[in-house]
Amino acid sequence: MLTMNLKIDSDAFSTGQIESKIWAVEELEKVSAHTNILRISMLGGWYGLFHFILKVRGRQQVEWCRSYDLDAGACSVANTVNNTWSHEWQFRAMPKDANELTFDDNTNCVVNTSTEHFSNNEWFDNIHEGMLCVLQGNDLKIEDHVNCPKDLDDFKKKYQLSVILFEGTKHFNFETNPYTRYMIIGHK
């Protein structure tokens, strides 16, 4: 019998995480749907839920999506969650340091909803001018959040886009660990 043991961090499916992904997808659809066919590179893509939500809503055309994460186990979960789109590599998650990406694969949209996990801006510096970026960060102070923005202005300063199509904040007023998430969408 074939068995598969995937270790899942249930926080990925918490209210804050799922609402944040839906927020990102909804705002991306408003600026991009029906105009662009997206070729997405997801950095720190974790379980690939951004892509899953984007696809099941069906409002945005996606040619392909590559998800990069340092955690090989997370990539296995991402490939399982997104296995509906595994044919012809429409979706593929792979273990890789996102700071090493050069985006020479015809990517036209870079998604990083994990910016607070990245201690430097190497990944952002490597994004080509003009590429559409969907970026989120949050101010929750926990151990692996090494780069928390102070506010939306601080977030915009960290990742400077030449054209901002959307900017916003979303506060999650949880009893334990309340936090604010920041998002910008635009062209580098």
Indicate whether 188 belongs to the interface with ligand SAM (CB under 6 A): no
Contacting residue, 17, 32, 67, 82, with ligand SAM by CB under 6 A? 17
The C-alpha atoms of residue 186 and residue 117 are separated, in whole angstroms, by 21
Indicate whether 27 belongs to the interface with ligand SAM (CB under 6 A): no
C-alpha distances (whole Å) from 98 to each of 48, 114, 118, 170 are: 15, 11, 9, 26
Indicate whether 44 belongs to the interface with ligand SAM (CB under 6 A): yes
> Please, what is the end-to-end C-alpha distance for the chain in angstroms?
49
Site string for ligand SAM, 67-106 (x = CB under 6 A): -xxxx--x----------------------xxx-------
Indicate whether 29 belongs to the interface with ligand SAM (CB under 6 A): no
The C-alpha atoms of residue 64 and residue 158 are separated, in whole angstroms, by 28
**Which residue stretch of 31-39, 54-62, 65-73, 159-167 sits at the interface with ligand SAM (rule: CB under 6 A)?**
65-73
The C-alpha atoms of residue 124 and residue 57 are separated, in whole angstroms, by 28
Q: Which residues contact 180 (CB under 8 A, 6 or more apart)?
A: 138, 139, 169, 170, 171, 172
Indicate whether 114 belongs to the interface with ligand SAM (CB under 6 A): yes
Select the residue whose beta carbon is closest to ligand SAM and give its number.
44
Binding-site ranges for ligand SAM (CB under 6 A): 17, 20, 43-44, 46, 68-71, 74, 97-99, 113-114, 117-118
